[in-house]
Structure 1
Amino acid sequence: MEDPSHPGVPPAHFVPQYGPPPPAWPPAFAPPPPPKRSPTTGILAALAAVLLAAAAAAVIFWPGTDETAQADATGKPTRPPTAFELAVETLHRQAEALVKGDEKGWLAPVDPKNKALVTRYRTMFTNLRRLEISHAEFHADKLEGSTPQKVVTQAALGYCFSGVTCPAWRNNYDEGPAKATYRLTFTLTGTTWRITELNDAAGVEHNYLQPAPWDNRALTFVKGKRVIVAGPSSQAKRLKQVLTLAEKAAKVTDKYAGYVNNPQRRYRVYLADEAGWKKWYGGIDEKWVIGYEMPLNSTGGDIILRARAGGDQRQLAVTIQHELTHVVTLAGGHWENTDDQWLVEGIAEYIGALPRKPQDTGNHDVLAESFRRRGAPETIAVPSLADGADDLTVNTLYAMGHYATACMAAKFGERKLMQFTNLVLREAKKPDEAARTAYGKSFSAVDKACLSWIRDRV
């Protein structure tokens, strides 16, 4: 899944907010402010989402070190390990301690005199354990600046949650397990090598998955049968409300995950205050975005909601269900064709709005306006959004995607719709090949039939 302007970077899937930012999210989820994107109709296109690019990710390689101790015929090393090798062994023990829930072992190599560093590591440990970390591994490369008394490393923590099958390590950010990279300094204190400095900015190549919500900030958690919801302490009273809606949404998306054989062990939803919203995963500047899904490579995805955006309970429920759909229809796949944005967002609109039909949502009014002003599109596979696309173009893509997927469900059934979706989005098949396999018809035939179906309902 690559953004065309930033190769190698999985796109985040956004849900916008329309209208001026409302006051802080009240416990009862107050009604949304007046709409902005469709001013002539007054309709809130609540789930139209703009596919914005994450920052470009650089590939980082961790080559095999030439400092590895050699073994003789008896299997015993011919020399003692180097300082760098000792540092790597320390990181391996830390990863093992993290997975085992051994906080003492995780903190053991951290310089106890550096209180801020100890707090940082303790926070990481607590958050990752509450998020059900089930796999962790460190890979490191020695950097310039090392001395006999100091070892400077670039260390990458690969991680997976909730017992998912963790993919094999890959030397770049958009493959293998999700990664967090740090510049770590080990200093010899007496006879012990201690971590005395952690820097996740200077000297570290950019990683679009940093900073993760769990890194360097204490979070509050609530957990249901299918979903973990987390947020800063300021949002603690709202987490249960989000959890209730997310658990209900998970029951819906679990059904469709079963259709594509992509069950999720857990869903994770973060409720971000303004500090988290501006920082997590690089931050979001656009005022109209209220939520997004960030893929964690093949292992699932994180949902980020903007607490300040609020909206009524129905809007929030649809937003969550839309974003969970992105997780089940994209995670673990090989989607690379940016021409398929209509389907990426269309299937999320379709499942997110259930049980309502598209003609019972704001997308009906979006298409009515779009058809009146610009005429009906010539294909259901409307072009993907270009940078700077205007509001009506954005809304039309999501509305057409919603209607197109609803049409295919009505004509062929949901199981075949999901087969088609899976073939295109997770198996990287072209729409025509996918349509012939799933529907027994060419995509042009499906396209023609659905265009007529949509016109009859708008």
Structure 2
Amino acid sequence: MTAALIAITVGAVVIWPSREPAAVAQPQPRPSLPPTPFEQAVKILDQQAAALLRGDERGWLAPVDRDRPALVARYRSIFRNLRGLGVSHAEFHASPRLDGNPGAVTANAAFGYCFSGVACPSWRSETGDGPPKMMQLLIFELINGKYTITVLADGLGAGTNHVQPAPWDGDELVFARGKRVTVAAARSQAKHVKKVLAAAEKAAVVADRFAGRVRNPQKRYRVYLADEQAWKKWYGGDRPKWSIGYAVPLNSTGTDVLLRAGKALRTRRQLAFIIQHELGHVVTLAGLTRSDIAGNKWLVEGIAEYIGAYPRAANRTGNWNILAAEFRREDAPTTIATESLADDADDRTVDRLYAMGHFAASCMADKYGERKLFAFVSRVLRQGDIPDRAARAAFGKSFDAVDKVCLEWIKDNVT
């Protein structure tokens, strides 16, 4: 039978289709390949991240080898610590390693995270860009027919990652949560968390005021209280010997504050000042990914001292005593832009930089107004301007002129 019958009529051609349709070849579905062992491991990590975000501890621990109690305890602490800190974003990115044990999956994995209140940036593989991340080495072994995590260790790039090891990756922390601040402490410092939280909540009110000056509002502050063991470990532990508190940037997503309990807790006044000083660093520096502020250490620390002492004037703080002594010396300061510190700087050198920075900030506020002071700070620290360009924009004067005026102002106030 033909494919169609054709009838010819006047002025038209009519085509009737055949009652038997033409045969059409149907594509045959290809059999799907089972996921590779590495693909199964990646799926496990994705499921873990989802469990963390929904608060499912059992789901988070499900792929961890139960016969390794230390490993289970570490994963449990990580889960509870991150939940206590308000984790709001989690993602794993992994690549296979070819030097692992046969029959196991060995992978370099980067665990990226963000905490609530921030816009988590898009993924970047570099440790200093995108969300903060922990670089891991993971081994998955086939146990009872399922790939199971049997090893969690530092991965490729961990040694140069400034946020590793994080305080949340270790023993379970003790938490206290207020309206504006979360305090997380090593368990040995549990008795101090309420006192630290009370001081931090007061400091946050002051910090919020100055955050508005530089247009860098913070949704929430995080303060960690470290004993000596934790101080030498958290966020690398590579800090100057003279430091008592430290502000650690989490890439562009915010800044954490670390306090050295043994020194920060000596008096209530010292605790209040140190927290307020460190939150001053948070509001003036948080969100930056630049690393060129070290040359302006006098301003970094000076504005933090100004915020830390607020509302007390500089001449009503211990910095007055320091500078009164300095200006009696033959090598008295000749500029407000004190040279930056070496990690092994002695106490006098450290005190001098902090005190000069504090009085320099106070001078600029007194001579030109606090709003212009913070315009200068924002231009130098947040926008990367050199001090002279920033001074001309903020004060309408060269930095040399400001330096001369403020050096005389400081002398008049301490001698």
What range is the shorter-chain TM-score in? 0.7 to 0.9
Note the C-alpha offset of 1:350: 0.6
Q: State which of 323, 342, 358 in structure 2 corresponds to 1:367.
A: 323
Distance 1:76 1:456, change over 3 A: farther
Counterpart in the other structure of 1:168: 122
Distance 1:288 1:396, change over 3 A: closer
Distance 1:331 1:76, change over 3 A: farther
Q: State which of 281, 286, 289 in structure 2 corresponds to 1:331.
A: 286
Q: State which of 129, 135, 138 in structure 1 corresponds to 2:83.
A: 129
- Could you tell me the percent identity over the aligned residues? 58
Moved more, 204-213 or 160-169: 204-213
1:255 aligns with 2:209: yes
Counterpart in the other structure of 1:112: 66
1:453 aligns with 2:409: yes
Counterpart in the other structure of 2:395: 439
- The 3-state SS of whatever aligns with 1:384 is coil
Is the Cα–Cα contact under 8 Å of residues 403 and 454 in structure 1 kept in the other structure?
yes
1:320 aligns with 2:270: no
AA matched with 1:269: V
Is the Cα–Cα contact under 8 Å of residues 136 and 153 in structure 2 kept in the other structure?
yes
Counterpart in the other structure of 2:162: 208
1:98 aligns with 2:60: no
Note the C-alpha offset of 1:98: 1.2
Q: Deviations over 1:66-100 (max 9, x none)?
A: xxxxxxx9999964332212212221221122122
Mapped partners of 2:266, 2:405: distance in 1 = 36
AA matched with 2:391: A
Counterpart in the other structure of 1:406: 362
Counterpart in the other structure of 1:293: 247
AA matched with 1:296: L
Unpaired runs of 5+ residues, structure 2, are: 1-26
Counterpart in the other structure of 1:389: 345
Counterpart in the other structure of 2:15: none
Moved more, 138-147 or 227-236: 138-147
Counterpart in the other structure of 1:430: 386
Mapped partners of 1:178, 1:74: distance in 2 = 47
Note the C-alpha offset of 1:201: 7.1
Q: Deviations over 1:200-239 (max 9, x none)?
A: 3799544232221111211111100010111133322211
* TM-score normalised by the chain length of structure 2: 0.87
Is the Cα–Cα contact under 8 Å of residues 135 and 163 in structure 1 kept in the other structure?
no
Mapped partners of 2:82, 2:358: distance in 1 = 36
Q: Deviations over 1:169-210 (max 9, x none)?
A: 222222221111211101122432111111137995442322
Is the Cα–Cα contact under 8 Å of residues 273 and 308 in structure 2 kept in the other structure?
yes
Instruction: Map 1:143-154 to 2 at 5 A.
Output: 143-146=97-100, 149-154=103-108
Mapped partners of 1:195, 1:438: distance in 2 = 56
Distance 1:204 1:349, change over 3 A: closer
Is the Cα–Cα contact under 8 Å of residues 114 and 253 in structure 2 kept in the other structure?
yes
Counterpart in the other structure of 2:17: none
* TM-score normalised by the chain length of structure 1: 0.79
Counterpart in the other structure of 1:378: 334
Q: Which has the higher contact order (CA 8 A, sep 6+)?
A: 1
Give the number of the structure whose residues are more often helix, by fraction: 2
Note the C-alpha offset of 1:452: 1.7
Mapped partners of 1:189, 1:74: distance in 2 = 36
Unpaired runs of 5+ residues, structure 1, are: 1-72
Counterpart in the other structure of 1:234: 188
Q: Deviations over 1:129-171 (max 9, x none)?
A: 0100011111112123335521111111111112311122222
Counterpart in the other structure of 2:24: none
Note the C-alpha offset of 1:285: 7.5
Distance 1:131 1:408, change over 3 A: same
Mapped partners of 2:162, 2:194: distance in 1 = 29
